[in-house]
Amino acid sequence: NGMKQQESGVEPEPGALVPFLRTQPSLHDPKYPEKLPENTLVLPLSRMNMRVIYTVSEYDPLLDSSNMNAKDWAKIASDIQKNYGNYDGFVVLHGTDTMAYTSSALSFICKDHQKSIVLTGSQVPIYEPKNDARDNLLGALLIASQFQIPEVTLYFNHKLFRGNRVTKVDATNYAAFDSPNYPPLLNAAKDFKVDWDLVWDSTAAESFDINTDHIPIVRLLKFFPGFDANMVRAVLSVPAESVRAVSAELVTEDPAELMTDGLAELMTEDPAEPATHVLELLKEVKGAVVESFGAGNSPNDPKILQEFKQAVDRGVLIMNCTQCLKGTVTMDYNTGQLLEEQGLIPGRDMTPEAAIGKLFYVLGKKDLTPEARREMLKRSIRGEMTIDRKIFQEQQ
C-alpha cells in the first residue's frame, strides 16, 4: 500500500515508494557494494548467504484499485510477459479492494509459466509507523525469489493463497483475505514451507504466454429477496437493437445501412451530440456471473427464468456461483436445477471473482466455438474449482 494522506483523502503518490524503501533496513541494504540500476534495491544478506535484488517498475498513472478494470489486468500480464526472461519471479503491488479480482484474472491470462507471480498489498500504508505493508512486501519478495510456483498467488498476513481461490473478507484487519474452499499453499508463521501437494500441477515448459486478444463485456447479478425479472433484463438485455433503431431513424431510411457508412456518418455529423458513445452501446453483453442463494438456488419466478433462458439463447454465457463464502453449487434442490435447465453453468465452489476472471479469459479467446467455451467454463483449467464433490468435502 503506497497510499499517502492528501487533502482529498488517502491516494497513491507517484515516485514516493522507491525513495522510502531505501530507508527501510529490512527492504534495502545501503551497504551493498555493487552499483545498482535505477529503481533497483537489494534485500539484506540472508542467513543462507543469499540476497534478493529487485527492481520497482511504477505505473503512470498510479491507480486506486477501485478504478481498475480488465484493460489493467491485460497491461500487468503484458508487462510480465515482456520481462519474463529478465527476472526469476514477479511481485505485483496492488490495492486490497480489487486484488482478488486481479489475482483471479491473471491466473487465467498467464499460462504455461514456471516462475512465481505473487500479488500483495496492505491494509495500512507502508509510510505509517505501524503497518502490515513491510511484512507483506518482504514475504512476497522472498517467495517470488526462492520458489518456482507455477501459479498466480496472493500473499497476505503470512499466508500464500492460490490467486483464483481468494476473496477479501475483512475491510480493516490485517487478515484481509481468505481462501474458504482451498487451503493456503504456504503458512509463513516462522519459515517458508510450501505445501507442494496443493500447488497446481503444471507440466508446461518455459513457454510463458498470455491471452489478451479481446476484452468482452461481463456482468454480475446478485440474488436477494425481492429480486425480479426486470433486474435480469436491465443487466443482460442487448441495448444494440434500440440503439440501431434510433440511430437508423436519424441517418438512413434503411436500418441495415446503419452498420456500414450510416453509423460513421452519425458519429461525425455533430461532435456536440452524444453519438460518439454509440459504438460502446452497440457492444453486447457476452457473459455474466449470478450470485445465487445457498447451494446455487434461484427464485422460481417463471419471468426470471425466462429472462435467463432468453439471454442464454442469445449466446450469453452465465455462471451460477453461490453467495456463501464456503460450499459449492449443487443440484440438490429443485430451485438449483431450474437455473441449470435454463442453461446456466454451475460454478461449483468458485468465488465470484474467479468466475468473472474466467469469463473474461474464455470469452476473449476468439478461436473457440460457443460450445467449446461452455465446456471450458465447466472444467477446472487453473485449479479454480473443485470438480469432484467427494474431494471438496475432504478439503473441508
* 102 is known as an active-site residue: no
Q: Say if residue 96 carries a ligand binding annotation.
A: yes
Task: Check 23, 40, 55, 96 and give the catalytic one.
Answer: 96
CA 31 – CA 33 distance, rounded (Å): 6
Return the C-alpha cell found at 258: 446503419
Q: Which of 98, 134, 125 is nearest to 2 (CA)?
A: 125
Q: Say if residue 191 carries a ligand binding annotation.
A: no
Q: Say if residue 65 carries a ligand binding annotation.
A: yes
Return the C-alpha cell found at 139: 514475504
List, as residue ranges, the binding site.
65, 96-97
List, as residue ranges, the binding site for substrate.
65, 96-97
Which residue numbers are catalytic?
96
